Amino acid sequence: MTAFTVVNPATEQPLTDVELASVEQTDALIERAHEAFPAWRAVAPGERAALLRRFAGVVDAHIEELAEIEVRNAGHTWGNATWEAGNVRDCLNYYSAAPERLFGRQIPVPGGVDITFHEPLGVVGVIAPWNFPMPIMAWGMAPALAAGNTVVLKPAELTPLTAMRIGELALEAGLPEGVLTVVPGKGSVVGQRFVTHPLVRKVCFTGSTSVGKGVMAGCAEQVKRCTLELGGKSANVVFADADLAAAAAAAPYAVFDNAGQDCCARSRILVERPAYDEFLGLLEPAVKGMAVLDPSDKGSQMGPLISQAQKDVVQGYVDEVDVAFTGPAPDGPGFWVPPTVVLADSTEQRIWREEVFGPVVAVLPFDDEADAVAMANDTDYGLSGSIFTGDVGKALRVARGVQAGNLSVNSHSAVRYWTPFGGYKQSGLGRELGPDAPNAFTEEKNVFIAH
């Protein structure tokens, strides 16, 4: 048994040691989840719904505690951490309606009656990253449980604490042992075992594109279902006819929220050429005015990066370009990088093409609508994006033209549990959330009965 020392990224002080599961321990927990499956799928729909609502209620009673853990473990601001804990509650409540609505269909066929059933898969493995530990846990866990699956969840090594607490709260709410199991451990050990263990019937992976490709290849060995939520290099497209003050005021939070460690970060800003200078003039005070403070300060709008390793990666990108201007950042301990704005020289630069996963945004002008769509699409990724314009027709044309799963007009909408979320191209495979998510954790069975 090895242990990992969890560190507060704002202070670099150790918080606690967490024991990392071995392959043997992982196997035992997967087997326990498999044993819990028949009884869980047999729980009557209304009763499973009630248990999920009770779980939501227990989470709701612990929002402050969960937020406080995340502020210390992940360096998230109070506002974000509170929203994230509330998102766990909301996902559980939303999907608590699913067990009683897991409808099949009656399909007209000659010679008999045809009906379909949505049947749970068995054990579902969720592999979560460190950037949004609570929401990403909930997006996999809530619809999977609602559809009658049992869940094993591996939090990121750096951020296991909220997941471990939520696992305890599930038991407190009355979920039977083995229905939700949090397995702290290394990706190369526990995560990899979810991929290779034959009793895990689906893997929901969120993380980097490179690790995601390996997960998908591993799942192929057993034709195992997988959902991938990967990286992004999303565009924030600002047309000259937009409310420029509103666009500039919103732009920092679209990329610097969570210190830029957000797969949906709008890390490329495209500005229509006639508005370029005015937009930058408005953006500069907005960035300089950000409150980048220790996240335990409730006034903080941006915290530190998760680790020294992540800071080194981000600094490597910043060191090879000319920085136009930055916002503030504290001195002293903590993995701080200030919000940083770069005026790109070309679309070939690494800063324009690669996901930085830190508080760095690159800006380039564009000439017209067609140019904006072409530039937005000139990337291997396709997760999200924003369009600022006063012309609703243009907004719709561009939204339809950009190859990305999640677009917002005159806003930078966060992920909403009511609506489907996922990526085009190398940003991912499959969709999470929205009304259809429980079906993605089922097999659709067709039964024909001859007259």
- Annotated catalytic residues are 229, 263
Tokens standing for residue 209: 């594109």
Give the one residue of 133, 135, 207, 295 binding ligand NAP; rule: CB under 6 A.
207
Cα maximum dimension of the chain: 78
Q: Is 187 in the site for ligand NAP (CB under 6 A)?
A: yes
Task: Indicate which single residue of 140, 184, 231, 359 sits in contact with ligand NAP (rule: CB under 6 A).
Answer: 231
Amino acid at 144: A
* Structure tokens that stand for 155 in this block: 């939090």
Comparing CB distances to ligand NAP, the nearer of 296 and 377 is: 377
DSSP per-residue letters across 265-334:
---EEEEEGGGHHHHHHHHHHHHHT--B--TTSTT-SB---S-HHHHHHHHHHHHTS-EEEE-----SSS
User: What is d(CA 281, CA 285) in angstroms, rounded to the nearest whole number?
Assistant: 8
Minimum Å gap between C-beta 309 and ligand NAP is 9
Q: Cβ distance 340 to 361 under 8 Å?
A: yes
Q: Between residues 242 and 305, which has the closer beta carbon with respect to ligand NAP?
A: 305
Task: Using the rule CB under 6 A, give the single segment among 44-52, 125-133, 273-281, 339-347 that binds ligand NAP.
Answer: 125-133
Site string for ligand NAP, 133-172 (x = CB under 6 A): ---------------------x-xx---------------
The window from 58-66, 228-236, 329-337, 402-410 that contacts ligand NAP (CB under 6 A) reads: 228-236
* 263 binds ligand NAP per the rule CB under 6 A: yes
CA 298 to chain centre: 24
x/- site string to ligand NAP, residues 273 to 312, per CB under 6 A? ----------------------------------------
Calculate the dihedral angle through the C-alpha atoms of 82, 88, 91, 96, rounding to the nearest 10 degrees: -130
Instruction: Return the residue matching tokens 């704005």.
Output: 341
Q: Which amino acid would we find at residue 147?
A: A
Q: Of these, 6, 85, 128, 437, which contacts ligand NAP (CB under 6 A)?
A: 128
Question: In terms of CB distance, is 386 or 389 closer to ligand NAP?
Answer: 386
CA distances from 429 to 34, 156, 205, 259, 440 (A): 26, 20, 10, 25, 12
**Between 40 and 335, whose beta carbon lies closer to ligand NAP?**
335
Ramachandran bin of 155, using left for φ above 0, alpha for ψ from -120 to 50, beta for the remaining angles: beta
For ligand NAP, which is the closer residue by CB, 204 or 275?
204
Report if residue 234 touches ligand NAP, rule: CB under 6 A: no
Q: How far is the CB of 125 from ligand NAP (least distance, A)?
A: 9
Contact set with ligand NAP (CB under 6 A): 127-131, 154, 156-157, 186-188, 191-192, 195, 206-208, 211, 214-215, 229-231, 263, 355, 357, 383, 423, 428
